[in-house]
Amino acid sequence: MATPMMQVELAGHTLEYDWWGPPPGKAPTLVMLHEGLGSVGLWRDWPEALSKATGMGVLAYSRAGYGRSSSVPLPRPLDYMTREAVDVLGPLLDALSVQSAVLLGHSDGATIAAIYAGSVSDMRVRGLVLIAPHFFTEPEGLEAIRAAKTAYEDGDLKERLTRHHDHPDVAFYGWHDAWTDPGFADWNVGDAIDHWRIPALVVQGAEDAYGTLAQVREVEERAYSPVEALIVDGAGHAPQQDAPEVVTPAIAAFCGTLMALEDAPSEAQ
């Protein structure tokens, strides 16, 4: 069992986290929310690259059951993403003294960020970067998730995940079994988009096996706040890994625009 960089006690769990770049109070914070099989370590060197590209502090944490964070009982509840958004994310920002933030999520993490922005009134959160978000189930995505079980049980996926998770079975089956539960077929959190009041950048790989461009259209059709969409040709479910030369500058430009708006004097001044 490896030792995490830093830990915080929250909601009955010990959560690992790490920080790159300036602390709160010195600059806004980019808060990274990992995918369904992700963790702090699986972001690899991207948080540092994002901090350098944006000038922001970057915070990443592993949700309970992932990385070096404490475990959770299985099965996970089918509304686990909503529970993370409502019960954990806000208290985490409080505990780590985040003052101004942009939420950056990938896959499940993007959905959690989207739910938070649509259900929690938090003036600290100034924008969203959603990479491969999902708001409803699609046959293509469910097929890919079922195929992942074969890779986990018969291939090398478990071995690869064990390098990054203290509880790999909890990480994998907590994700897989929720998504493939018959009760999950009708899952839909698109109404969270209706309540956004902050700008969003949505990034989607054109070849994503876990979600189609229908997820992006859902945002474009429902959001009242400004939305930018970046479709990355040739990229799969992790366009930040497949095409960092495209995705990182786009995120830096989006965050730069947000920060310029923050710093601009109001008309009243």
Full set of structural domains in the chain with CATH: 6-261 (3.40.50.1820)
How far is residue 72's CA from residue 116's CA, in Å, rounded to a whole number?
A: 21
Token output for 113: 């960020």
11-46 as b/e: b if 16+ CB within 10 A: eebebbbbbbbeebeebbbbbbbbbbbbbbbbbeeb
For 236-260, the DSSP string reads -S-HHHH-HHHHHHHHHHHHHHHHH
Query: pLDDT tens, position by position, for the chain (269 residues)?
Result: 455 579 999 989 999 999 999 999 899 999 999 999 999 999 999 999 999 999 999 999 999 999 999 999 999 999 999 999 999 999 999 999 999 999 999 999 999 999 999 999 999 999 999 999 999 999 999 999 999 999 999 999 999 999 999 999 999 999 999 999 999 999 999 999 999 999 999 999 999 999 999 999 999 999 999 999 999 999 999 999 999 999 999 999 999 999 887 776 544 44
pTM of the entire predicted model: 0.96
Residues 107 and 43 sit within 8 Å (Cβ to Cβ): no
Q: What is the phi/psi pair of residue 253, to 5°? A: -65, -40
